[in-house]
Amino acid sequence: MNEKVLGIVLKQSEYRENDALLTVLTKEYGKLTLTARGVKKMNSKSSTSCLPYVLSEFVFDYVEDKSMFTIKNASIKSSNRFLQEDLEKMNIAAIFCELIDKSLPQGVLDEDVNDNYFDLLVFSLDKLNQEKQHPLLLCLFLAQMLNYLGIPPIVDECVLCGNTKVNRISIEEGGFVCSECMSELDSSIDTQMDLKRFRLINKAGIENYDVLKNYGPWSFQDCSSMFEFLQVHSGIDSTSWKFLKEIVEV
């Protein structure tokens, strides 16, 4: 039975001479591996539909318990073409896709989970394609990922004692700390991002991107604390973030 499914290409990998393996995020089936036959041929009609960061409609036969499916047809719904023309945008898009790929196992059929990740990625890629406040968008994306992973920073009170008079961020402890608890900590204290901005990023939600633009300017240095928090508390690392840091000199 032919299934028509909207999907975002997270990555494309080499597979045989003219074929490619696609990792695709969908609402219906979560993360899928699709085989794109002949997609590397010069005359392939599906080549652009199978590029990373593109939202496409894929036609294939879905069978439960299978881990790989062959694409019968693919057509572009949103090319996000400016992502392919700007090195900074391209690297941020790669971060979005890499982190979702590493966070979401294949075969997860939880409708809420798949909807959350899919909608987050569609929104983030669309904003990245159109907007210029890249650091803010990346920070908000990371905050949303921390929330979906169940490890959001504690930013309303001291993570150790509940005191609302806080003055530092402790990455290792998981959020804000007060001066009394700070003096007893052996863990590293982060001071790269001020408390107000850190709290705003983690409380606002990515849907308020347009509002938060007015609270800038934002920098990629703001993203460093968020990435460190993600790595410490989830174990997820990002090769794409390392490339981006070299480009923007964080």
Residue 110 is encoded by which pair of tokens? Answer: 């939880």
Q: What is the 3-state secondary structure (H, E, C) of 108-144?
A: CCCHHHHHHHHHHHHHHHHHHHHCCCHHHHHHHHHHH
Residue type, 200: L
The residue-averaged pLDDT of 221-233 equals 92
Mean pLDDT over the full length of the chain = 91
pLDDT digits (tens, 9 = 90+) for 4-44: 999 999 999 988 888 899 999 999 999 999 999 988 888 88
Measured distance CA(18)–CA(131) in Å, rounded: 35
Judged against a pLDDT cut of 60, whether residue 188 lies above it is answered with no
List Cα–Cα distances, 94 to 5, 14, 38, 87, 98, in angstroms: 22, 17, 24, 10, 6
List Cα–Cα distances, 45 to 7, 9, 25, 68, in angstroms: 17, 16, 21, 21
Instruction: Determine contact, residues 74/56, Cβ cutoff 8 Å.
Output: yes
Residue where the block lists tokens 């300017």: 217
pLDDT digits (tens, 9 = 90+) for 41-87: 888 888 899 999 999 999 999 888 888 999 999 999 999 989 989 99
